[in-house]
A and B are shown apart, each in its own frame.
Chain A
Amino acid sequence: MKGRIVVEQPGNSVVTDLGRFRGPRFGLPVNGALDQFSARAANILTGNPDNAPVLEVTALDFRMRADQDLLISVTGAPLTLTVGGREQPQWEPVSVRAGEAVAIRGIHTGLRAYLAIHGSVDAPLLMGSCAPDTVVGFGLKLAEGTVLGIRRSVAPLRQPYFDIPLFRLGLERPAMGSELVVDVTDGPDVAEFGDSASLLFASGYTVSGRSNHIGLRLGGQLPERMSSAEVLSRGVPVGAVEVPNREELLVLHRGRGVTAGYPVLAVATSLGLDVLAQARPGDVVRFRKTTVAEATLAYRASMRQLESLRTTVNTVFKLLGVGDEPGWRELPPAIAI
């Protein structure tokens, strides 16, 4: 017996993980889930390692069906999640019976949702990561009829005592909305922009529809570079804020080319990148200046929150027998896809 998920309505979805961290050394962008917090949370909520392959569903409706009982969770942007037609909560573990359709509809306020499955799905790896790389043409982009191999099945979880929800995890969810605040630190080349650098904090920027996983293009008041000397190609950090032309500001995201020759005005923080991952075309982004030390503290606080979520989830799973025999059972390996 092999476990399979069949994608019935792909929308715009891929299988990804936290990224190809060995890639940049070899000229490949890190890529991976754009909203890292939501991707980690989805995995933790299903008892997976943070870096397990998850489905990233961007903007459009998605539907799949499995031939095994599953334990899933959906995080990221607000949406309507239904399992076998019944509405289910986001940011909670959810049981799915074999044959039931799992549908994600009406993603709103943010842009990307993350769907994790206990035991995860099979995905091809490149340099240790399944994250798609659109430039070299690698990755699992889901299409109608795509079959995903699954390795574990979890019988439906039922709270045996009272008819109340199993989990009330109360996780603090990332901020989303049409007015977003993104923290940035001074970039290594901020001096090249002279006094105009402070324009970045003076007013909001509108997200262009031409934004993607490589970078977000933003319209608004543009700081101006003082010199026009050609810059040698340098490694650019994810989150780099650049002014490549007179029309737009560019904020590089996880799919960014590893090297470039534009001066880096500012760098979005790790948490700021999660906010940008959920920005929809037309949303307004305001930049807020912070320091590297403060950004590091904020990031660590958010990681601690995920750690405490992991502790809670693992405790509940243990009581329910998930993650131990006999709550789930190993399925034989699926046919290679």
Chain B
Amino acid sequence: MSTNTAPAVEIHESGDSAVRVVAVSADPERNWETVHRLAGWLDTCDAEGLHGAVPTYDSVLVEFDPAVVSAKQLRAFVVLGLRQLGLRQLDLAGSSARGSLEFEVPVAYGGDFGPDLEKVAEQQGITVAEVIALHSAKSYTIRCMGAPAGSPMMDGPDFPLPVPRLEDPRLSVPAGAIAVAGRQAVIAPATAPGGWCVIGQTPLTVLDLGRDPLVPYRPGDTLRFRPISHGEFDGYVGSHLEALNPATLLPEVAL
């Protein structure tokens, strides 16, 4: 049985309690799939001493308890997982336990809701209306859950240029802030400091400590922004961000 279908990765030491696995194929889309599927596999293993995996774009941080497993053993375990994924590539392609969810996020752009909107337009050399149109034009795939508080990290809108980060990061960005930086887009689920340009705000509640999971989306889900007027904002306050399509449970794929 050949193992050359296993995804190409590098495994880097990251202290006594974590390793970083980086997918190194030439195709960013394939790398993203590799690290998320590896994280999913590690999640379902329930291996003793394994705390969990944090997948982002091309890498996954695997955390463990060094009293129970060593970095060396963990590394061997990851290689085993990759081999499993490589060999079952076809069975698993595009599938997950609950299918992909779609979200629509109403956004009040500009003014107090989006204090950096005009600056972004100026920096991009386009009008404010064009920034809004580009930002709300496409459907975004959630790439990973980032800091703070499980922010949905997405590839950014089709702006002409990358968006520079703020020179003076804000000490407090409100929950619901819609922000862009570099070639990325995000929603802030909780109030936290931030250095990204805030172009709008959603009135919806994204993070709810009373729910499990705390946020309704996960990597692989898709999301679209819909402009609303400033006057409409209050009407949405108190509503939660919910998927447009209810979760359809696909049969579990055995590994």
Residues A28 and B144 in contact, CB atoms below 8 Å apart: no
Max count, chain B CB within 10 A of own CB: residue among A25, A268, A296:
A25
- A31-48 toward B: CB 8 Å interface, digit per residue (1/0)? 000000000000000000
Say yes or no: B66 contacts A299, CB within 8 Å.
yes
CB distance from A30 to the nearest CB of B (A): 8
B16 to chain A, nearest CB (A): 4
Closest to A26 in B: B150
Q: Are B14 and A233 in contact (CB under 8 A)?
A: no
> 1/0 per position for B10-53, CB-CB distance to A under 8 A?
00111111101000000000000000000100010000000111
A1-55 CB contacts (< 8 Å) to partner B: 21-22, 24-30
User: When the two chains form their complex, are residues A24 and B16 in contact, meaning their CB atoms are under 8 A apart?
Assistant: no
Residues of B within 8 A of A258 (CB): 54, 145-147
Contacts of A259 in B (CB 8 A): 54, 56, 144, 146-147, 153
Do residues A136 and B190 form an inter-chain contact, with CB atoms below 8 A?
yes
Bound state CA distance, A292 and B66, in angstroms? 10
Q: Give chain B residues whose Cβ lies under 8 Å from the Cβ of A187.
A: 14-15
Does A331 count as interface, using CB distance less than 8 angstroms? no
User: Could you say which residues of chain B place their CB within 8 Å of the CB of A175?
Assistant: none
**Minimum CB distance partner of B55 in chain A:** A235
**Closest partner residue, chain A, to B28 (CB atom):** A232
A167 located at the interface, meaning its Cβ lies under 8 Å from any Cβ of chain B in the complex: no
Could you tell me which B residues sit within 8 Å of A by CB distance? 12-18, 20, 39, 43, 51-61, 63, 66-67, 70-72, 144-151, 153, 182, 184, 189-190, 192, 207, 209, 212-215
A303 CA / B65 CA spacing, docked (Å): 11
Q: Is the pair B146, A233 in contact by a Cβ cutoff of 8 Å?
A: yes
CA distance A137 to B148 in the complex (A): 12
Contact between chains at B214 and A188 (CB < 8 Å): no
Which chain A residue has the least Cβ–Cβ distance from B59?
A: A234
Among the listed A25, A28, A30, which residue makes an inter-chain contact with B39, where contact means beta carbons less than 8 Å apart? A25
Asked if A235 and B20 make an inter-chain contact with CB atoms under 8 angstroms apart, the answer reads: yes
Interface residue count on the A side (C-beta < 8 Å): 46
Contact call A303/B15, Cβ cutoff below 8 A: no
**Among B16, B43, B63, B153, residue most surrounded by chain A Cβ atoms (within 10 Å):** B16
User: A237: which B residues are within 8 A, CB to CB?
Assistant: 14-15, 17-18, 20, 61, 63
Bound Cα distance A76, B25 (Å):
47
Return the chain B residue nearest A183 by Cβ.
B16
In the complex, A112→B161 CA distance in Å?
Answer: 47
Chain B residues near A269 (CB-CB < 8 A): 15-16
> What residues on A are CB-neighbors of B149 within 8 Å?
27-28, 135-136
Contacts of B66 in A (CB 8 A): 270, 295-296, 299-300
Residues 41 to 90 of chain A near chain B (Cβ within 8 Å)? none
Q: In the bound complex, how far is the Cα of B212 from the Cα of A137, in angstroms?
A: 16
**Which A residues are within 8 Å of any B CB, using their own CB?**
21-22, 24-30, 126-127, 135-138, 185-188, 230, 232-240, 256-260, 264, 267-270, 292-293, 295-296, 299-300, 303
Contact A232–B57 (Cβ < 8 Å): yes
Assess whether B214 is in contact with A264, with CB atoms less than 8 Å apart. Answer: no
Starting from the known contacts A258-B146, A303-B67, 13 additional A-B residue pairs (CB-CB under 8 Å) come to A21-B52, A24-B51, A25-B52, A27-B147, A27-B149, A135-B149, A138-B209, A233-B56, A235-B56, A237-B17, A240-B15, A259-B56, A296-B71
6 contacting pairs across A/B (C-beta < 8 A): A26-B214, A234-B20, A235-B55, A235-B61, A237-B18, A303-B67
Tell me which residues across on chain B come within 8 A of A26, comparing CB atoms: 145, 150, 213-215
In the complex, A22→B55 CA distance in Å?
13
Task: Tell me whether A25 and B16 are in contact (CB under 8 A).
Answer: no
Shortest beta-carbon distance, A26 to chain B, in Å? 5
Q: Nearest B residue to A256 by beta-carbon distance? A: B147
Minimal Cβ-Cβ distance residue in A for B148:
A135
Residues of chain B within 8 A (CB-CB) of A257 are 146-148
Chain A: CB-nearest residue to B183: A230
Of all chain B residues, the one with the shortest Cβ separation from A133 is B149
Q: Which residues of B contact A136 (CB under 8 A)?
A: 148-149, 189-190, 207, 209, 214
B16 — which chain A residues lie within 8 A by C-beta? 185, 267, 269-270, 292, 295-296, 299
Q: Which A residue sits closest to B182, measured CB to CB?
A: A230
- Closest-by-CB residue of A relative to B13 is A292
How many Å from the CB of B209 to the closest CB on chain A? Answer: 6
Given A26-B145, A136-B207, A257-B148, decide whether A295 and B15 contact each other with a Cβ distance below 8 A: yes
